[in-house]
């Protein structure tokens, strides 16, 4: 009789962990199917969701199939040597994939999705319960892709990336005196206030940089860009330590000027773009914008009024 690959205790632990992963991914897939978006526990979840072009539903269905395969294989029992080896290959492969996913969050996005880390923890534990020799092999398979992502880090601050790559549309005027970038969300009511203030022609050229894909025009007479990446705008704000929108960026000769909050932004464009000259100092226009008239990036529709 063949020697069992797993002890009875490790075999039962494998089944329990596979069931936990199956239930977790099934629940998340159901939430996405019903609500159209995943259940996000922290800001990192939202950023990771926006950073991938593939629907999160497909990622969760893949996870669901993986945990189902682990469960079906493990049910064969520790005495089934062939299934035992197949289980180890399955778990090692999954750990290698996690090396890419965790590395991407750590070195590219510089943030972590709590749900993703929970799935990672279950896969890690599944590998751990297979024994010391398996842990060494699977850890090596995880470390390779993880370190490769570290070497190929593509943080916005280290690349030749500019805000034009995140511009969805441009509002042009004859001989503009300023070039301004508005980072916003169509679902944020404070951003809507700023957009309404831009409906008239101005002396400024506006670039509209959303934090997520735009499915319908935000204003008439805009010049849409063929390609744009909202992730550039999210990453720019994260590098600057800004967690709220709207944010207006003025590209000036002496550097970039950042203005946050609908009240401060509207005042700035009224004085800088609709009048012959600013009536008050720029510093007075910016003051107070950091505390009111903003929406959080995590939940664009949940806004704070500074109270």
pLDDT digits (tens, 9 = 90+) for 87-142: 989 999 999 999 999 988 887 777 788 899 999 999 999 999 998 889 999 999 99
CB neighbourhood size of 138 (10 A): 25
The correct CATH number of 8-154 out of 3.30.70.20, 1.10.3720.10, 1.10.150.20, 1.20.1440.130 is 1.20.1440.130
Tokens of 23: 């239930």
The alpha-carbon radius of gyration of the chain (Å, integer) is 25
Predicted confidence (pLDDT) per residue in 284-296, tens digit: 444 434 446 778 7
Distances (CA, A) of 128 to 131, 172, 267: 6, 59, 58
Task: Map residue 78 onto helix, strand or coil.
Answer: coil
CA separation for the pair 213, 184 (Å, rounded): 11
Q: How many CB atoms sit inside 10 A of residue 111's CB?
A: 18
Q: How far is CA 284 from CA 145, 153, 225, in A?
A: 50, 39, 34
pLDDT tens per residue across span 245-275: 999 998 877 677 889 999 999 998 888 887 5
CB-CB contact of 291 with 306 (8 Å) = yes
Contacts of 277 (CB under 8 A, 6+ apart): none
**What are the angstrom distances between the C-alpha of 52 and each of 11, 38, 168, 270?**
35, 13, 18, 37
Residue 264: CB partners within 8 Å, gap ≥ 6? 285, 286, 287, 288, 289, 293
Q: How does residue 280 score in pLDDT terms, banded at 50, 70 and 90?
A: very low
Give residue-wise pLDDT tens across range 198-252: 877 678 889 999 998 888 888 888 898 888 888 888 878 877 778 889 999 988 7
Q: What stretch(es) of the chain map to CATH 3.40.30?
A: 163-304
| DSSP assigned state of 72 | H
CB 225 within 8 A of CB 167: yes
The Cα 70–Cα 22 span in angstroms is 9
CATH topology of domain 163-304: Glutaredoxin (3.40.30)
Domain with CATH 1.20.1440.130 in the chain: 8-154
pLDDT of res. 298: 58
Q: Give the DSSP letter string of 23-62.
A: HHHHHHHHHHHHHSS----SHHHHHHHHH-SS-HHHHHHH
Question: Rounded distance, CA 9 to CA 76, Å?
Answer: 14
Say if CB 186 and CB 218 are below 8 A apart. yes
Q: Which stretch of 57-71, 129-143, 180-194, 262-276 has the lowest confidence by average pLDDT?
A: 262-276
The pLDDT of residue 184 is 93
Q: Residue 240 region, left (φ>0) first, then alpha (ψ -120 to 50), else beta?
A: alpha
pTM: 0.55
């Amino acid at each position: 009789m063949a020697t069992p690959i797993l002890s009875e205790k490790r075999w039962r632990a494998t089944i329990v962990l596979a069931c936990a992963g199956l239930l977790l991914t099934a629940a998340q897939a159901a939430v996405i199917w019903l609500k159209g978006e995943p259940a996000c526990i922290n800001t990192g979840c939202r950023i990771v969701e926006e950073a991938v072009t593939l629907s999160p539903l497909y990622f969760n269905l893949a996870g669901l199939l993986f945990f189902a395969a682990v469960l079906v294989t493990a049910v064969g029992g520790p005495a089934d040597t062939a299934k035992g080896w197949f289980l180890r290959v399955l778990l090692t492969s999954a750990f290698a994939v996690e090396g890419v996913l965790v590395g991407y969050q750590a070195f590219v996005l510089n943030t972590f999705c709590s749900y993703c880390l929970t799935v990672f923890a279950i896969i890690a534990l599944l590998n751990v319960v297979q024994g010391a020799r398996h842990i060494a092999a699977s850890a090596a398979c995880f470390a390779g892709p993880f370190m490769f992502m570290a070497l190929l880090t593509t943080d916005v601050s280290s690349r030749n990336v500019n805000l034009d790559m995140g511009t969805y549309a441009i509002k042009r005027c004859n001989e503009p005196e300023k070039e301004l970038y508005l980072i916003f969300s169509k679902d944020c009511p404070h951003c809507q206030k700023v957009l309404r203030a831009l409906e008239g022609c101005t002396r400024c050229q506006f670039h509209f940089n959303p934090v997520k894909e735009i499915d319908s025009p935000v204003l008439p007479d805009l010049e849409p860009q063929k390609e744009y990446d909202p992730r550039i705008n999210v990453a720019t704000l994260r590098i600057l330590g800004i967690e709220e929108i709207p944010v207006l960026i003025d590209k000036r000769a002496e550097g970039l000027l950042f203005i946050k909050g609908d009240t401060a932004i509207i005042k700035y464009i009224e004085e800088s773009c609709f009048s012959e000259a600013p009536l008050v100092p720029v510093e007075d226009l910016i003051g107070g914008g950091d505390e009111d008239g903003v929406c959080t990036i995590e939940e664009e529709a949940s806004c704070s009024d500074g109270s």
